[in-house]
Chains A and B, each alone.
Chain A
Amino acid sequence: MTAEDEETLVLRSLAGDQRAFGELVSAHQRVLFNIAQRMLNDREDARDVTQTAFLKAWQKLHTYDRRSKFFSWIYRILLNEALNQLRQRRRLDPLDERMASPERSPEERTEANEIGAIVQEGLMKLAAEHRQLIILRHVLHLSHREMAGLVNLPEKTVKSRLYTGRQLLGGILRQRGIRPT
């Protein structure tokens, strides 16, 4: 979808055209859902948070500054929703079952070849600021500059946080006897 197409869809949505907004949903739902899924490690929560982000985007579309990308704007809405969800979890569940996955030996893990699950588990141990950058880099394959634009931070800070996050993630996996191959 070109920037012009997106601009047109936003304008039509602002005029109340729900089908136009539906096209924006179709264009961005997969990426946003995956970000939420990686941030929250729960499919149902990811679904709720992503749907809420789209609903808020619809309701607040008049506040969207069309000089920026629609994705950047809705990404920030999504991230806020995801962070709220995480805060709520901390309040409700002192020991979140999603975080306390049953301990298995490294051999069992290797046998199961659960790369996604292993990495996801490690990601959940990171602070959200590190986790989101790792997701943007490795799931969305964004450049440092694109990430900086999205998270509203200087490129240098993004790079440094990404490196730290990856270093911490490597340490967490190593500590648990997991060595990605």
Chain B
Amino acid sequence: MIDGQDERLLQDELEGVATPEGSKRLRDRLARSAEVRARRQELEALARALDRVPMEEVPPDFKEGVMAAIAAAGRPSPARKGWLENPGGVARRHPVLAWGYPFLAGAVAGGLLIALATGNLAPRPRTDLPVSGAMLPGPGRGALVDHRELSLGTARVALETRRAADGVRVGFDLARAPGAELTMEFDIAALQPVGLRWERPGRHRAELEAGSVRLRVMEDGRGTVLLSPSSAGDAPILVRFRREGGSTEAVLHTAAVGPGR
């Protein structure tokens, strides 16, 4: 009778990864068991059949289709680190983050709930808000690092990042964007959310997932997300602006980016 060990020995042999001891044991089993011999034939035949599955050619106009699609999509966003695509990878490279995620997410979610309930977290004088109506830099609000403007139809959002004494401030100013969603994704190893303040209170919602802040606005909205950086280096933030029927995105830098980036 074939047991799990026989099967493993046979498959190891088939894969060319059998150990000398395994090979010897398999030879013994093959010499004594017709079932094992039959199973080997079966596995070999299956592997042959699999190996004979032919590679197919791509449809003739395949590449043209891809090139037309990317031409319509415009150029990719500027280069930055790859952690946004794979936060799990960050956790694997830095195991402490694997258990840190739930803790941090819970802590920040609690903080944001307070922010939602009170309207503000870590309130500051209104004049200290980093976002002016025109998104222009103002005195004492930290150094302007980056700014972007995204639009979807008539809806638009102006964004800026500043380095201030208390951290990185991401100012946003949404106009003509009812029902729009603004998401900021960042590396939680590099940036930790500290607070959120709406300059124009309204029927807005904020949600937190690990490494991201999501804002939904029901009318025009303006405010600031305060993030605490772990270093003075750049920790890019991927911003997505979505409305029904479309989305667009941009990367905001949080420190001056060298020419090599």
A-side interface residues toward B, CB under 8 Å? 11, 13-16, 18, 21-22, 25-26, 29-30, 33-34, 37-38, 43, 47, 50-51, 54-55, 58-68, 73, 115-116, 118-120, 134, 137-139, 141, 144, 152, 159, 162-163, 166-167, 169-170, 173-174, 179-181
B63 touching A29 by the CB < 8 A rule? Answer: yes
Nearest first, the 9 A-B pairs at minimum CB distance are: A65-B82, A16-B75, A180-B49, A138-B50, A63-B85, A61-B76, A62-B77, A180-B45, A58-B70
Q: List 18 A-B contacts (CB under 8 A).
A: A15-B75, A16-B75, A18-B71, A25-B66, A47-B58, A51-B65, A51-B66, A51-B69, A54-B66, A61-B77, A64-B82, A65-B81, A116-B54, A134-B50, A138-B51, A144-B17, A166-B50, A180-B46
Query: What separation, in Å, do the CA atoms of A61 and B11 have in the docked complex?
Result: 39
Q: Output the nearest chain B residue to A180 by Cβ-Cβ distance.
A: B49
Count chain B residues whose beta carbon lies closer than 8 angstroms to a beta carbon of A.
46
Interface of chain B residues 43 through 60 with chain A (CB within 8 A): 43, 45-59
Neighbouring A residues of B46 by C-beta, 8 Å: 166, 169-170, 173, 180
Query: What separation, in Å, do the CA atoms of A54 and B8 have in the docked complex?
Result: 38
B85 touching A64 by the CB < 8 A rule? Answer: yes
Neighbouring B residues of A120 by C-beta, 8 Å: 53
Neighbouring B residues of A141 by C-beta, 8 Å: 51
Query: What separation, in Å, do the CA atoms of A66 and B82 have in the docked complex?
Result: 8
Query: What separation, in Å, do the CA atoms of A166 and B10 have in the docked complex?
Result: 12
Query: Does any Cβ of A come within 8 Å of B176's Cβ?
Result: no
A-B contact count (CB 8 A): 141
Query: What separation, in Å, do the CA atoms of A18 and B53 have in the docked complex?
Result: 33
Neighbouring A residues of B15 by C-beta, 8 Å: 144, 159, 162
Interface of chain B residues 22 through 80 with chain A (CB within 8 A): 42-43, 45-59, 62-63, 65-67, 69-71, 73, 75-80
